[in-house]
């Protein structure tokens, strides 16, 4: 730099001199020409006639000398840089030897807050950074080609030799490789996204061992915290929209991203004895698939993340993010590694709630209790359920009912006693209107489950190697194992360190309609309490919502700025006869209007419903309301009657607007349901709306 | 004959097939084809390809995503008689890449991307459940490829 200036200063006077000479000559020429127009200058060059000859030569000499000087200087500089670069590379290459002797205290990848370019200091955490920042240019080119933010580089020497270096170095072995791509180094212009370099390839370490892995990328352009459905959906969305994106998923589970619904449904119906290992199930269309979204070959390793030519998705398993520094745009893991990011998604989901009485009950009880959420829980429960005589599911919601039905089915063969208890009056009591909830409860019973509704657990004790559950009304239930399915506690551990708002009504991180919590931070899935433009602020714990919100978050992380608009749906199966799909707010405390296909012999193959106890009007006693269905209906007399809620549509209303719909045993109609909710109109006659669903067709 | 019953706040209506035979008079709001918020199908209103369409499954986002995008784009914009005939190089590159990941791209998929999209729909994040496994799928009546519901 300084050299440049000094050289220029030296040359300047020369330049000036030569330019003045030039001007003088020109003037002379002009004068002469003016006076002697007849004197055709023929082959004369720029300078004047005869007399300017010597000056001419001098001038030429001067200019020539200058050019030569400049050329020599340039050549020298290039050579010098090249040399320095080579030396540096050599030095780095020799580092692994030194490294192996050094302790593993290196880890401190975090140190140079990503912003500053010296990041690469990582493994040695020495001021190596400085030298590196001087040769940004040569090194840069070979580094991540795909990096979107390719900051302008100082001098582009683009030495080809550097190319092969990274290539071999990226091999999962001698770590320092990475150093050679102090890509980041190039942009002292604080292009925080660059720092990739330190992919610190201690490769496999990241995934298999728990060592403080200096192998981890110190920076991930897209960092997704949590490795569940929402996170995977976001990763996919990001990769689809940002070519070559580098996405890092950090999850505290040991597994790659997988889908949860089969854990409480399909996997239990599998005939394969090895299902707990393979985790494969048969879809409703007959095709088999694994619960994992993608096989391991879909992902790249975290070590490769910075250097992979077209980017990719890397998953860091068994690592928990414990601290988030929003100002510094970085997170800290439980092993003290720091990773900086450009855009971050929090998709931490939640942990199953437990009953207070069990929590306080002591270890003996807790050992016989399962909180169901992950693959491990499935494996444990599967094993346990084969070896005991009696199992109790506490909770009457989706998970509880599904598990009860799944276990109940098993009980046909094994003689296992399956009990389900909950405080509501019937299964799905908080979701389905009472009549339907009762009907569903009967269904669950036919699956072989002993249902105990209106059960409030007062205490659980362990006696004679059995659990004794005492209910508030005095009943005592003895069982061998308990599965608690009493809700999900959204995981907001990072709220404090990140300074993120937590919603007091619904729990979870509070985010706006675009799922954004703060600049560069989005939240999706179970943990997100978001603003739904149509339905208001809510938090949804369903699989499809995780997909939709994850996808949306991914789109917004890549600049889409779209609000939550496409309504997610959910579904549940309770045995072979009952299946329903739902969308929107489906809360049993809302007024509902249910339109069911009147049972004909054809429609009721096996679905004969038992009397449900609540007086139900018989079909023959009709209220001819074909023309004015809105007319007030006559209260049902206490007649017992068989009602078959075989197929139908149920509308949930809030201030006369449909905010939720359940499609009861009718399928492939979700788009219509979605449209009705999206419209948000007040419909006078919901029977007319129900016509749109064609419930009588298959 | 329609029967109506009220149980507290819940209304229950039973209808026969005949009751529902007459067309509905319920009014639905007209759709805005250019609504920026709406989920789009495979082809956006502008004519471009929607890479985040769930119908593509993992094709555009997996390890061979770049190759796939190039091949499919070439095909999509191809004006030849035999559409995509000038895209052989891109398709070949894509196939070569896919052969490196047999797990992800089962080898019977040697057809045009549209067909591929259908096959690999199983990779779609949306779960396995019934037709509505992929909600976007349902709402997109204009789907180019996976016209049939995803994991059907």
pLDDT (average), residues A414-443? 94
Our CA-based measurement puts residue B118 at a distance from the nearest CA of chain A, in whole angstroms, of 13
Our CA-based measurement puts residue B121 at a distance from the nearest CA of chain A, in whole angstroms, of 11
**Tokens 């035999």 belong to residue:** B82
Among A530, A522, A526, residue whose Cα is nearest residue A491: A526
Q: Across the interface, do B135 and A548 touch by the CB < 8 Å criterion?
A: yes
What are A693's two structure tokens?
Answer: 């669903």
pLDDT tens column, B94-121: 989 888 888 888 765 544 444 444 433 3
Packing angle of the helix pair A398-414, A375-387 (nearest 10 deg): 30
Nearest to A668 among B63, B123, B131 (CB): B131
Q: Across the interface, do B5 and A633 touch by the CB < 8 Å criterion?
A: yes
What are A176's two structure tokens?
Answer: 């320092």
Helices (H), A102-135: 129-134
Tally the C-alpha atoms within 13 A of residue B60's C-alpha that lie toward its C-beta. 26
Rounded Cα–Cα distance for residues A620 and A172 (Å): 77
Closest chain B residue to the Cα of A592, Cα to Cα: B10
Q: Across the interface, do A298 and B104 touch by the CB < 8 Å criterion?
A: yes
pLDDT tens column, A16-71: 666 666 666 656 655 555 454 444 444 545 544 555 567 888 988 998 888 898 88
Rounded Cα–Cα distance for residues A358 and A142 (Å): 58
Rounded Cα–Cα distance for residues A408 and A446 (Å): 9
**Tokens 């192998």 belong to residue:** A215
pLDDT tens column, A244-301: 899 999 999 999 999 999 999 889 988 888 999 999 998 878 889 999 999 998 999 9
Q: A224 near A345, Cβ under 8 Å?
A: yes
What's the ipTM? 0.73
Please provide the size of chain A in residues.
Answer: 698
**Tokens 């009762």 belong to residue:** A438
Rounded Cα–Cα distance for residues B70 and B78 (Å): 12
pLDDT tens column, B3-20: 899 989 999 999 988 888
Per DSSP, the residues of A466-529 read EEEEEETTS-EEEESEEEE---EEE--TTHHHHT--B-TTT-SEE--TT-EEETTEEE-GGGEE
More confident residue, A132 or B50: B50
pLDDT (average), residues B74-91? 86
Positive or negative torsion for Cα A698, A647, A673, B127: negative
Q: Across the interface, do B20 and A690 touch by the CB < 8 Å criterion?
A: yes
Identify the band that residue A99 occupies on the pLDDT scale cut at 50, 70 and 90.
Answer: low
Partners of B6 on chain A (C-beta within 8 Å) are: 632-636
What are A394's two structure tokens?
Answer: 């506490």
Nearest to B2 among A284, A571, A625 (CB): A625
User: What whole-number percentage of chain A has pLDDT above 70?
Assistant: 68
pLDDT tens column, B117-142: 443 333 444 433 333 333 333 333 33
Burial status of residue A685 (CB atoms within 10 A of its CB: 0-12, 13-18, 19 or more): middle
Our CA-based measurement puts residue A236 at a distance from the nearest CA of chain B, in whole angstroms, of 6
Q: For A32-36, A38-42, A127-131, A565-569, which range has the lowest pLDDT when averaged over its residues?
A: A127-131
pLDDT tens column, A163-172: 333 333 333 3
Partners of B104 on chain A (C-beta within 8 Å) are: 294-295, 297-298
For residue A483, list its beta bridge partners: A370, A393
> In which element (H, E) is residue A18 found?
helix A2-35
Tell me what pLDDT residue A396 has: 94
Among B128, A572, B69, residue whose Cα is nearest residue B137: B128
Rounded Cα–Cα distance for residues B152 and A434 (Å): 33
pLDDT tens column, A104-124: 444 444 344 333 433 333 333
Q: Across the interface, do B135 and A544 touch by the CB < 8 Å criterion?
A: yes
Q: What is the DSSP letter of B140?
A: -
Partners of A548 on chain B (C-beta within 8 Å) are: 135-136
**Tokens 């201030």 belong to residue:** A655
Q: A52 near A29, Cβ under 8 Å?
A: yes
């Amino acid at each position: 730099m300084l050299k440049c200036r000094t050289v220029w200063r030296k040359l300047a006077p020369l330049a000036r001199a030569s330019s003045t000479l030039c001007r003088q000559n020109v003037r002379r020429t002009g004068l002469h020409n003016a006076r002697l127009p007849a004197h055709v200058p023929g082959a004369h060059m720029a300078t004047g006639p005869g007399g300017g000859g010597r000056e001419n030569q001098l001038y030429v000499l001067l200019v020539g000398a200058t050019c030569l000087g400049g050329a020599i200087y340039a050549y020298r500089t290039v050579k010098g840089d090249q040399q320095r670069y080579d030396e540096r590379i050599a030095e780095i290459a020799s580092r692994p030897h030194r490294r192996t002797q050094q302790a593993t205290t290196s880890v401190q990848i975090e140190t140079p807050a990503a912003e500053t370019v010296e990041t690469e200091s990582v493994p040695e955490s020495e001021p190596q950074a400085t030298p590196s920042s001087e040769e940004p240019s040569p090194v840069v080119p070979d580094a991540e080609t795909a990096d979107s933010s390719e900051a302008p580089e100082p001098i582009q020497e683009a030495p080809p030799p550097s190319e092969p270096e990274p290539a071999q170095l990226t091999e999962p072995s001698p770590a320092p490789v990475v150093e050679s791509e102090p890509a980041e180094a190039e942009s002292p212009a604080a292009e925080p996204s660059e720092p990739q370099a330190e992919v610190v390839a201690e490769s496999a370490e990241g995934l298999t061992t728990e060592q403080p892995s200096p192998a981890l990328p110190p920076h991930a352009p897209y960092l997704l915290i949590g490795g569940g459905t929402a996170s995977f959906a976001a990763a996919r969305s990001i990769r689809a929209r940002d070519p070559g994106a580098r996405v890092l998923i950090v999850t505290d589970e040991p597994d790659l991203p997988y889908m949860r619904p089969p854990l409480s449904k399909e996997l239990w119906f599998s005939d394969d004895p090895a299902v707990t290992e393979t985790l494969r199930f048969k879809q409703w269309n007959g095709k088999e698939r694994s619960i994992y979204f993608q096989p391991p070959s879909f992902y790249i390793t975290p070590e490769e993340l910075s250097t992979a030519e077209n980017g990719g998705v890397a998953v860091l398993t068994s690592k928990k993010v414990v601290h988030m520094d929003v100002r510094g745009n970085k997170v800290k893991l439980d092993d003290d590694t720091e990773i900086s990011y450009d855009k971050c998604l929090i998709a931490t989901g939640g942990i199953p709630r437990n009953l207070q009485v069990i929590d306080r009950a002591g270890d003996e009880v807790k050992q016989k209790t399962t909180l169901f959420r992950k693959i491990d829980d499935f494996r444990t429960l599967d094993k346990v359920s084969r070896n005991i005589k009696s199992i109790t599911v506490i909770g009457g919601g989706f998970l509880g009912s599904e598990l009860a039905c799944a276990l109940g089915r098993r009980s046909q063969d094994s003689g296992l006693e399956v009990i389900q208890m909950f405080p509501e009056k019937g299964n799905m009591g908080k979701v389905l209107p009472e009549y339907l909830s009762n009907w569903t409860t009967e269904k669950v019973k036919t699956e072989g489950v002993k249902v105990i509704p209106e059960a409030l657990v007062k205490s659980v004790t362990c006696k004679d190697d059995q659990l004794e559950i005492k209910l508030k009304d005095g009943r005592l239930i003895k069982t061998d194992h308990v599965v608690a399915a009493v809700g999900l506690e959204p995981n907001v551990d990072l709220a404090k360190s990140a300074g993120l708002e937590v919603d007091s009504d619904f729990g979870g991180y509070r985010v706006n309609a675009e799922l954004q919590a703060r600049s560069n931070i989005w939240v999706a899935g179970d943990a997100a309490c978001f603003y739904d433009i149509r339905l208001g602020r809510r938090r949804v714990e369903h699989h499809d919502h995780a997909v939709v919100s994850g996808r949306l978050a991914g789109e917004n992380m890549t600049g889409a700025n779209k609000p939550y608009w496409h309504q997610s749906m959910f579904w549940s199966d309770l045995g072979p006869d009952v299946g329903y799909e739902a969308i929107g707010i489906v809360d049993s405390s809302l007024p509902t209007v249910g339109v069911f296909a009147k049972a004909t012999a054809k429609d009721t193959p096996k679905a004969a419903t038992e009397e449900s106890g609540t007086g139900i009007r018989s079909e023959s006693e009709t209220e001819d309301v074909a023309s004015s269905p809105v007319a007030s209906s006559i209260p049902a007399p206490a007649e017992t009657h068989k009602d078959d809620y075989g197929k139908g549509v149920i509308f949930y209303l809030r201030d006369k607007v449909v905010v939720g719909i359940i499609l009861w045993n009718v399928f492939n109609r979700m788009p219509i349901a979605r449209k009705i909710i999206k419209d948000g109109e007040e419909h006078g006659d919901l029977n007319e709306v129900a016509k749109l669903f064609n419930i009588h067709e298959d | 004959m329609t029967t109506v019953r009220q149980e507290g706040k819940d209304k229950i209506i039973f209808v026969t097939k005949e009751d529902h035979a007459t067309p509905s008079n319920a009014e639905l709001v007209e759709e805005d084809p250019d609504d920026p918020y709406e989920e789009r199908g495979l082809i956006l209103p502008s004519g471009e390809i929607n890479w985040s369409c769930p119908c593509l499954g993992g094709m555009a986002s997996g390890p061979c995503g770049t190759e796939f995008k190039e091949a499919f784009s070439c095909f999509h914009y191809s004006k030849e008689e035999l559409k995509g005939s000038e895209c052989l190089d891109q398709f070949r590159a894509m196939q070569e890449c896919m052969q490196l990941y047999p797990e992800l791209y089962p080898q019977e998929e040697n057809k045009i991307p549209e067909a591929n999209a259908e096959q690999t729909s199983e990779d779609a994040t949306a779960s396995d459940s019934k037709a509505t496994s992929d909600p976007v799928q349902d709402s997109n009546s204009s789907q180019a490829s996976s016209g049939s519901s995803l994991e059907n």
